[in-house]
Structure 1
Amino acid sequence: MYVAGVAGNVYTLAVMCHSTRCAAPMYSSIVSLALADLLYLSTIPFVVCTYLAQDWYFGDLGCRLLLSLDLLTMHASIFTLTLMCAERYLAVTRPLDTLKRSQGYRKVTAGAVWSVSLLLTLPMMLMVTLSEGGKAGGRVKRMCAPTWSVDAYRTYLTVLFSTSIMAPGIIIGYLYTRLARTYLESQRNPPHKKENKRSPRQKVLIMIFTIVLVFWACFLPFWIWQLVRLYNSSLQLTLQTQKCINYLVTCLTYSNSCINPFLYTLLTKNYREYLRNRHRNFYKFTSSFRKRGSNLQCSWGRTSDEGEKLQTPKPGEHQAKGFCHSI
């Protein structure tokens, strides 16, 4: 999962950086999503090491950075998706205003998304510390734990659930409802004959909606499990069962970062065009290399034949050279 996710997102960044349409707002948003996925996947080695060793080896700073990095990338992803939906809505309802937005505006917007995500993450970064607890066999177990009260921690996680799942879900649902209504109204009296193929705007909307659905499918079970544990302290589940559930829902969140690059490949036209161009250029390169090699071989054969013709002595010359050599 880690290797596939990192490779896919790195390749996505390479494609977007070399894309001829990288100035478009959607592709700058995809770059932001890929960066968030890479940062989130970077925590996997630390999580696996902690799970196998049943101990925390990365100190107090590691607790603050890794736990806050999870929340930072999660909010950056869903805020970016919400921004993409808003941009598509404005592109349909106010296309002229959308064209006036510059690349600097998009950079400021992306910076604002990451800044708000960081602000929501700061309490976790400040209020988490490394604690030590006893374990059977006399071994001391270190773990990351919040320093605030249970009620305060419960309130904070509820706020994070609202900002990462509920509020973006309401906004995205509202925008897509308005877009669907606009689309249906335009289809009642179309200005030209209806085409079978989807328009580019429709394809973009389908892509964004698919990415949003995958995000919710991967993160909603995680949040439901966290809230159930917070608000229902008397769960009739064994400790081993709770660990297994926590492990499964955590793996599901990481799978979102691995699935996204494949969604870009399948649903983004420019991504597919880039891949086709790369394959076409590679084929041209290998074909020209083979052709050059065959031409070189043919020219070498002609040169050798001509050389043999030039070096073949006449009968008289051969006898004279042999006679002089014998003398």
Structure 2
Amino acid sequence: MRLRDDFVAVKVPATSANLGPGFDSLGLALNLFDEIAVHAVTGATSVVIEGEGAGSVDTGENNLVVRALRIGLDHVGAPQVGIRMHCTNRIPHGRGLGSSAAAIVAGLTLARALVGDPEVLAAGDLLQLSTDMEGHPDNVAPAILGGATVAWMDHGVAGALSVTPPEGIAPVAFIPAFELSTSKARAALPAQVPHSDAAANAGRAALLAAVLAGGQSRYVRGEADAGSGGVHELLMAGTEDRLHQEYRRGAMEPSLALVDWLREAGFAAVISGAGPTVLSLEPVPSDVREQARAAGWTVMNVPVSQAGVSVTRGRLSKEPI
């Protein structure tokens, strides 16, 4: 298989995974994008990085985008080439906003764009290859499909469903100055949890998935018929977690303290991915934002992106993933 284009570009969204109870399964695509352009050349690979990761991310063959691109080319039997890459990175690194998933999805999509065939490396291939590289589909699924996603594994095969959240879902990110590796966050988790906690999380995750899909036609609580439940009340219930967040408190105490503070103030806040970013799934007023900023947090509106990764230059620029 040959390369049909030699200059292509993609953009890929940040993502937030878990969303409280949906450990390794629920995710959101966020309106914060990395943009990467590639020129296929003869010669050595070079990478220029602007923004997040500049000065620290590898600028040669060990760059994660480059590695993913090469895996994509190998997968379809396309020739390997020299790469000149320019990355405009806006997704913070090591903060639980899916920067590694974005890099992997971008690299594989760049390989698709270089080949220039809409039948090659379509969404299912991207999902599986990305999951194989990332280890879990929770971040890569929304990066590919956009919107809110439910992802799962079936004997090593990744699956994902994308839905469009209701208007009440308007995420706000609280981003700290410190980083936390996913491996350190995972190391804090126990090998086993109480059955009651697992059962509670299953119910909360199911509720949150229904809310994200707009499922709130009739809501009852206890013995009283509550009619239609508001998004806020359902989000507060649907984002409760017993499976992973509290176990990670020692690795990111400031983040869990912020989650506690926001939830006590009435906002559906969770740890974003493996942390340490905190995400409120609903708007937060200016006084709360200012208090968080005064404590050293960067506060950013990150609306849900209905678009996942897209090719912005090349013959596939008008083709859906």
If the TM-score is normalised by the length of the shorter chain, which range does it land in?
under 0.3
Query: Does 1 or 2 have the higher relative contact order (CA < 8 Å, sep 6+)?
Result: 2
| Richer in helix (by share) | 1
Decide which structure has the larger Cα Rg and report it: 1
Alignment TM-score, normalising by the size of structure 2: 0.24
Alignment TM-score, normalising by the size of structure 1: 0.24
